[in-house]
Chain A
């Protein structure tokens, strides 16, 4: 099965519900190859829910299309090879005795046979992914013995190891220290440059503002869907956060500080 070559992911959904509650409405979003989109908004705006919908993890799969193929028509394997999803940090790492490299190797599952035997290519991918997040020194250590930040980087590596053309990351910078946040920024830019479609939910607004595109969620809708560098983006952010932000220019972009 040949991997998808840089597909486009589209979500067209009138109502995004979580159980009985409507979380978002009027969603018409496109994630294009080579583009890094940051999803921002106040707490509870539905960012994680949106990302799950994009990953096909919610029952609303019918509204999702990969290129022109409806999501439900794709096989489980095609989906897993096309899209890598990293959940929010509280979701895991401590419930397992797996070692770091074993956890990253799980990211190769979409490419492996049912026996799950690792090929040389798989091992190569794992090593590269661990190197990219600077986690090689503890590749043999069990996840639960790592610090939260170290563990988060390993989980990131797991998502990278899938080599999927679409990357969906939910709060990937949780627990990461500044140098590694900076590393991650470079990594995301590199992934996009290679033609991948990257979408990340971020709390760190100063990093989000460095993305290619910004989706601002507020009041159950997408309040802004456009380039991140434009003033309109910052205005939308201000509105979404109740005018409690102060934007300060920086070498590379903008900093968002509490007002």
Chain B
């Protein structure tokens, strides 16, 4: 079935709106409309948390669409070029340093950890580009990304062994967490999303043309190297910001573009924004599930995203050769 992109956009936005509404109604006692009894719970906790979770998911969805377009690989995800390993290492370093005497700098650890994750993601990406000596050779980029990811992950492991008190915070980080998202996170992620989307849309034609092959895209006069550099920077920006706020949430960046493609969207002008909206909805849905299922106990948000994402991918598994 083929949807008109505009109609699809409106539909997905409406869905997100519905989820936001639900998000304000699910709290420590499961489903309850606290708006009348305790409005501060909604305005200070549930609304910003839901919005920020959506924002995080949208950043991941956008980053996933960019990654899949840049590398022509439907299995690409936002963490592909070592960003996740870099973010983890940043957080581990910050936690270890905060424990030591010289960790006074990290006393504002709320933002300190976010900054560490963000910086780590960027540093890893920089390392990847350095290792692959530039952005022009895609297979080399991918390989460099794998190497950086593996090495940094090992370094992170080493750090947690050195200081086991970091084990639990690292685990929370690796599984993803939306519990403490508030208005300051909303103020950060939504404008960032808008900027990143605008910049990415400028490269949407190049992403389309890359589908016909790199040489063809080049012959059509497209500035491939410049576009690649821009897209990589956006990838780092979006995935870094998302990881800094919500930890390493799996699957959202991978699955969101697929849901949109399955609805017949093929051009990146639509694929980019719709992946963002879809990703936002996905993470918000997972956040609601994690709050609701065992209230007041919360599941790490990475669990429902893995379940939802995994179930979706399973349903898309081809049942045989279709031509």
Note whether A and B contact each other (Cβ less than 8 A).
Answer: yes
Q: Do A57 and B219 touch across chains, with their CB atoms under 8 A apart?
A: yes
A83 and B209 CA atoms in complex are apart in Å by: 16
Instruction: Identify which of A5-13, A34-42, A74-82, A130-138 touches chain B.
Output: A74-82
Q: Do B215 and A96 touch across chains, with their CB atoms under 8 A apart?
A: no
**Number of A-B residue pairs at CB separation under 8 A:** 79
A95 and B216 CA atoms in complex are apart in Å by: 13
Q: Do A96 and B212 touch across chains, with their CB atoms under 8 A apart?
A: yes
B88 smallest CB distance to A (angstroms): 31
Q: Mark A203-229, 1 if CB is under 8 A from B, else 0.
A: 000000000000000000000000000
Q: Do A116 and B204 touch across chains, with their CB atoms under 8 A apart?
A: yes
Q: Is A107 among interface residues, defined by CB-CB distance under 8 A?
A: yes
A84 and B205 CA atoms in complex are apart in Å by: 17
Q: Is A245 among interface residues, defined by CB-CB distance under 8 A?
A: no
A147 and B220 CA atoms in complex are apart in Å by: 25
Instruction: Please pick, from B208, B209, B215, B223, the residue contacting A85 in the complex, using a CB distance under 8 A.
Output: B215
A140 and B227 CA atoms in complex are apart in Å by: 28
Q: Do A102 and B216 touch across chains, with their CB atoms under 8 A apart?
A: no
A77 and B202 CA atoms in complex are apart in Å by: 17
Contact count band on A = 35 or more
Query: Which chain B residues border A57 with CB–CB below 8 Å?
Result: 215, 218-219
Instruction: Identify which of B142-150, B168-176, B261-269 touches chain A.
Output: B261-269
Interface centre among A57, A106, A147 (most CB of B within 10 A): A106
Q: Is B323 among interface residues, defined by CB-CB distance under 8 A?
A: yes
B309 smallest CB distance to A (angstroms): 20
* 221-275 of chain B: CB within 8 A of chain A: 221-223, 261, 265-267, 269
Q: Do A84 and B219 touch across chains, with their CB atoms under 8 A apart?
A: yes
Q: Mark A132-163, 1 if CB is under 8 A from B, else 0.
A: 00000000001001010000000100100010
Closest residue of chain A to B261 (Cβ to Cβ) is A97
A155 and B273 CA atoms in complex are apart in Å by: 27
A155 and B208 CA atoms in complex are apart in Å by: 14
A92 and B267 CA atoms in complex are apart in Å by: 17
Instruction: Please pick, from B202, B216, B221, the residue contacting A76 in the complex, using a CB distance under 8 A.
Output: B221
Query: Which chain A residues border B212 with CB–CB below 8 Å?
Result: 91-93, 95-96, 103, 106, 155, 158
Q: Mark B14-55, 1 if CB is under 8 A from A, else 0.
A: 000000000000000000000000000000000000000000
Q: Mark A228-240, 1 if CB is under 8 A from B, else 0.
A: 0000000000000
Q: Do A109 and B220 touch across chains, with their CB atoms under 8 A apart?
A: yes
Query: Which chain B residues border A147 with CB–CB below 8 Å?
Result: 323
Q: Mark A101-133, 1 if CB is under 8 A from B, else 0.
A: 011001101101010100000000000000000
Query: Which chain A residues border B208 with CB–CB below 8 Å?
Result: 96, 98, 102, 106
Query: Which chain B residues border A155 with CB–CB below 8 Å?
Result: 212
B199 smallest CB distance to A (angstroms): 12
Q: Is A47 among interface residues, defined by CB-CB distance under 8 A?
A: no
B320 smallest CB distance to A (angstroms): 15
Q: Do B220 and A91 touch across chains, with their CB atoms under 8 A apart?
A: no
Asked, given contacts A98-B266, A109-B205, whether A87 binds B220 with beta carbons under 8 Å apart, the answer is no
A174 smallest CB distance to B (angstroms): 14
Q: Do A99 and B213 touch across chains, with their CB atoms under 8 A apart?
A: no
Query: Which chain B residues border A107 with CB–CB below 8 Å?
Result: 220
Q: Do B266 and A99 touch across chains, with their CB atoms under 8 A apart?
A: yes
Q: Do A106 and B220 touch across chains, with their CB atoms under 8 A apart?
A: yes
Query: Which chain A residues border B323 with CB–CB below 8 Å?
Result: 145, 147
Q: Do B223 and A91 touch across chains, with their CB atoms under 8 A apart?
A: no
A76 and B206 CA atoms in complex are apart in Å by: 14
Query: Which chain A residues border B205 with CB–CB below 8 Å?
Result: 106, 109, 112, 116
Closest residue of chain B to A96 (Cβ to Cβ) is B211
* 265-293 of chain B: CB within 8 A of chain A: 265-267, 269
Can you name 6 extra interface pairs (CB under 8 A) apart from A87-B215, A92-B213, A103-B212?
A91-B212, A92-B212, A98-B266, A102-B208, A106-B212, A116-B204
Q: Which 9 A-B pairs have the closest CB atoms?
A: A80-B221, A96-B211, A97-B266, A116-B205, A85-B219, A92-B213, A76-B221, A91-B213, A109-B220
What are 20 A-B residue pairs whose CB atoms fall within 8 Å in the complex?
A57-B218, A57-B219, A81-B221, A85-B216, A87-B213, A92-B216, A93-B212, A96-B212, A97-B211, A97-B261, A98-B266, A103-B212, A106-B209, A106-B212, A109-B221, A110-B221, A112-B205, A116-B269, A145-B323, A147-B323
